[in-house]
Structure 1
Amino acid sequence: MASEITYAEVKFKNELPAPVVKGLPKKKKPEQHPQKYPLWLPWLISLLLLLVCIALVVVLLERGWTCCPKGWRRFQGSCYFLSPDTMSWSESAQNCTGMGSQLVVINSKAEQEFLSVQIGQLMRRDNFYIGLFLEKVGQWQWVDKTPYNGTPMFWREGEPSPGHENCTVMHAPEKALYNWNNVKPDTMHHRICEVAAVIV
């Protein structure tokens, strides 16, 4: 007769639990954010900024900055000095030359308007010599040897008057654009010097 086999499960009280083998910690995958702009957009912006910078450099090199000496006023391509002191016409001309300039030569209505506004803003109500003088009877000329052919002309009504008044001033009390007045050369007046603006 076959014998029966009996199996039994035996547990021991002081037995240590079987060690649990842990694997290496899993690395977290970086979170995927959907791109909000195309990859080429930063490159396009950088390229556009570079082109703008190049254009600015080219413009500045071609046109440059126009500068005037301290205390001078700039208009278009010239600088103007309105003197605080008074001199005769010949002393005024020499003073301007000593500063590397000349008594102002007015070439346009815009320039006349600018200068009229400048002298109108001053508290002084005095006249300012300009570079127009009577070379000989009936022949006015600018200090830079430009012949005066009557244009532009901004004489006050009744001027130029005949006589020995062979120099020209801008008559400051005159509020109108037409404010030139001829005066004697030894009269003490302020002066307007003009020099070309420096381009850097």
Structure 2
Amino acid sequence: MTDAGKDGRQLLIVEDDEAFARTLKRSFERRGYLVQVAHSPEEMEVHLHAFRPGYAVVDLKLGSASGLACVQALRASDAAMRIVVLTGFASIATAVEAIKLGASYYLAKPSNTDDIEAAFDRTDGNAETPVGDRQSSIKTVEWEHIHQVLVETDFNISETARRLGMHRRTLARKLEKRQIR
């Protein structure tokens, strides 16, 4: 075995942005991880047949697929796996779903290797986390609702627009402003 992964730290990165995945891979390899990368849920399944990672980093949105399905499959393959979900827009709805499906932690992009590795080590909640007294704005509430429906429809834009009673192009414009990744 090479030096990478010698202490059993094997990582699977599930990320459709190839440049970002390559950067994460190199960074984790420098830290001693044995790393494999999948760019889709199908590639992830192929990797899981021969590779048994103890850690995974999963992008929430993988092209037209949802990273939440990947979280569920990874948890089913190894209940002890430490899974961190990354997303360009963190929402309460997807954070809750990711944790319910087995993610260990949920981070908003941009996140670096230090953030992700620290998230792998977090096993307990923090009761000292400050509870803000700031109320949600109407735009935040609207976005949370849109994102909840996106999750429910597995990120199907047409179906989400239909359920929201919104024109598909209007929804697409709103999504472009927020850049879900």
Q: Give the TM-score normalised by the residue count of structure 1.
A: 0.24
Looking at secondary structure, tell me which structure has more helix per residue: 2
**Higher relative contact order, structure no. (Cα contacts within 8 Å, ≥ 6 residues apart):** 1
Give TM-score scaled by structure 2 length.
0.26
Q: Give the strand-richer structure, 1 or 2.
A: 1
